[in-house]
Amino acid sequence: MAKFLEYVPGDSLLHRMSPAAKLVGAVLFAVACFVNSNLVFLLVMLVIALALAASCGLGRQTAGLCKAVLGFSVILAVVLVLTTPAGTPLVPLPWGYIGTGSLLAALTVIVRLMAAAIPLFLVFYVTRMSDITNAAVKQLHVPYKYAFTFTSTVHFIPVFMNDMAGIMEAQTARGVAFDGSLPKKIRLMVPLCVPLLVSSVRKTNSTAIAAEVRGFNLRTRESGYKDYPLAARDVAALGLCVALLGAAIALTALGA
C-alpha cells in the first residue's frame, strides 16, 4: 500500500511521460483553474483531473487528497459565504446577507481547489523524486540547490507524518487518549511537537552531512547522467494543457 506522496509504479500514460512535461503540464492545469471562475469550466477541469487519476489506478490516493482538500476548502468557503454578500438575499446577517451569489462563489472555490490540486499531487505519485529533481535541473534549468530543496521538502512530509504517528502510538500505549473535543485534541498535540521537532532536526542534520559528503556543492546541470527527451505524447499533453489555459483566459476575457 502506497504511502502519502510515495511513488506508485505503473505503465500508464502519465507514468511514461517525461517528468518535466508532467511538472509543466500540472502547473499549466492549475493556473487554468485559477484564471477562470466559470463553475461549468471548473467542473470540466475536475472531471479531467479525476479521469487522469483513474487512468493511473490512483483512485484511493485521489480520494484521500480530495477529502483533505475538501476540509480546507470548506473553511474558505464558509468565510467567503459570510463575508461576500452577492446575488439574491437568502439569509440576513448583521453585517450583510448570504445570497445565491455567495453560495455560488463558495462552491466555485471548493471545485477550483480540488481540480487544481489533483494533477499537482499526481505528479509525485507517478514520478520518482530523483527523476523530478534531475529533470527540473537538466530540462527546466532550475538551479540544483532549489530543486533539491523542493524535492527534499516533499520527501520529508511522509517521513514526519510517520514520525508523528509513531509518537502518538507510543503516547497511546502509555494511556494518553486522543479522543474528545477539538480543544482537548489541540492541547494533547502540543506536547507531541517537541519530540517531533527533535527528530526532525536530527534527520535534517544527518541529511545535510550525507549531501555534503557526496559533493552536494559540486553538483551542476551536467552532472546528471540520465536524459529525459520529450516524446510525442509529452508534446501532445503540453499542447492540451496550453489549450485549456487559453480557453480559461478566453472565457475570462468574454466575461463567462
- Across the chain, what does the average pLDDT equal? 81
- d(Cα 87, Cα 104) in Å, to the nearest integer? 9
Cβ neighbours of residue 112 closer than 8 Å, sequence gap 6 or more: 33, 34, 37, 42
Model confidence at 1: pLDDT above 50: no
Q: How confident is the model at residue 43, as a pLDDT? A: 93
Q: How confident is the model at residue 193, as a pLDDT? A: 75
Over residues 64-82, the pLDDT tens digits come to 888 888 888 888 888 888 8
Over residues 15-45, the pLDDT tens digits come to 888 888 999 999 999 999 999 888 899 999 9
Over residues 199-255, the pLDDT tens digits come to 777 777 777 787 777 776 666 666 666 777 888 988 999 999 999 999 999 988 887
CA angle 72, 63, 103 (to 5 degrees): 45
Residue range 105-125: average pLDDT?
A: 89
Q: How confident is the model at residue 224, as a pLDDT? A: 63
Q: Is the pTM of this model over 0.85?
A: no
For 48, phi then psi, to 5°, come to -60, -45
Q: How confident is the model at residue 133, as a pLDDT? A: 83
Q: How confident is the model at residue 26, as a pLDDT? A: 92
Residue range 47-52: average pLDDT?
A: 91
Residue 69 · residue 114 · CB < 8 Å: yes
